[in-house]
Amino acid sequence: MMNTLLEGAYDMHVHAGPDVIPRRMDDLELADAYSAAGMKGFVIKSHYWDTAGRAYLVRKLRPGIDAVGALVLNHSVGGLNPSAVEMAARYGVRMIFMPTMDAWNMLPPEEKRRSLADGSADSLPDSLRSPVAAASDGKGSGAGSRPSPAPIRLLRDRCLVPEADAILDLIKQHDLVLCSGHISPDETLALFKRAQEKGLRKLIATHVEWPPTGASVEMQKKYVACGALLEHCLINVMSGTLSVGDLTQQIHEIGAEHMILSTDLGQAANPSPVRALEQYTAMLLDAGVSEEELRTMLVTNPGKLLSR
């Protein structure tokens, strides 16, 4: 039986195969599952390459579903690389994520503190290294002799780096959606303030409840003041990072009109994204979130972001 709450909904953050990391479902399997649930579409996120081509093929082979391509600005595409953004936009990407696995914010807290003090952190620890970083120094499958790329920072002397500023111009020019990725709350706020100054209107604060990117309610309100939507991901509710009760409280305090609800699922060991959406929307209803609020976060707000 179709869940009417999901009718016309988008999952704005999901991982699928093919990918460099094992995934539960491939693009077409995921499209079929979303279509069967009455959903309108989904954003294909890969940490390491743009997904516009994959999204195009899904739309062609499954014309009832709107698959959306995204680009994440990790080292595999040159990091904060305006040329990559320009080409991805021409290729059909609709969403740009700031760095994720290669972000400076992914350093352990003690490494971040030391790097702020003396600038000593110039590479990510092995446990956090992306495949491209590992491959560059012989620790991955593509062994070579290049030095490991440094973590990507958006701020230099508390100011946005020029490359990030240029990327904002391209995002505005091509009417793309800007997502904060795995950068720190301070970086996110600086990015959103600059985006607001430039007139960008499609901003997402990525999984604001996840510890590395975690933002207090006060910080979330600052993001909203810049015009950003706050993304809450069900994977973090499933893991216990954020309880259903706390999520309900934040929805009511800040307002569903300022939020989107995504899954961030697709990992091989995790449940189907559609099953998770069905289960957790039911739990949120029981906790006091209204059907109207849920549809605002799942249908209305994503639709506005992806309209061209």
**Whether residue 179 sits in one domain with residue 163:** yes
Domain final position from 124, 150, 176: 150
Rounded CA gap, 259 and 284, in Å? 14
Please check the confidence at residue 84 and state whether its pLDDT lies above 90. yes
Rounded CA gap, 128 and 126, in Å? 5
Cβ-based neighbour number of residue 143 at 10 Å: 11
Please check the confidence at residue 122 and state whether its pLDDT lies above 90. no
Q: Where are the alpha helices (DSSP H) in 142-183?
A: 162-173
Domain final position from 119, 150, 181: 150
> Where in the sequence is the domain holding 146, given as residue range(s)?
110-150
Please check the confidence at residue 3 and state whether its pLDDT lies above 90. no
Consecutive H or E run containing 42: strand 41-44
Q: Domain count for the chain, please give it.
A: 2
Which residue did the predictor score with more confidence, 292 or 129?
292
* Residue 18, preceding peptide bond in cis (omega within 30° of 0): yes
Determine the pLDDT at residue 50: 96
Please check the confidence at residue 119 and state whether its pLDDT lies above 60. no
**Whether residue 194 sits in one domain with residue 301:** yes
Mean pLDDT over 111-131 rounds to 54
Determine the pLDDT at residue 113: 63
Please check the confidence at residue 147 and state whether its pLDDT lies above 90. no
**Whether residue 129 sits in one domain with residue 265:** no
For 86-114, how does the pLDDT look when each residue is reduced to its tens digit (9 = 90+)? 999 999 999 999 999 999 999 987 776 66
- For 108, how many CA atoms within 13 A lie in the half-sphere containing its CB? 6
Chain-wide mean pLDDT for the chain?
91
**Whether residue 231 sits in one domain with residue 295:** yes
**Whether residue 101 sits in one domain with residue 133:** no
**Whether residue 268 sits in one domain with residue 126:** no
pLDDT band at 136 (very low <50, low <70, confident <90, very high): very low
Determine the pLDDT at residue 118: 57
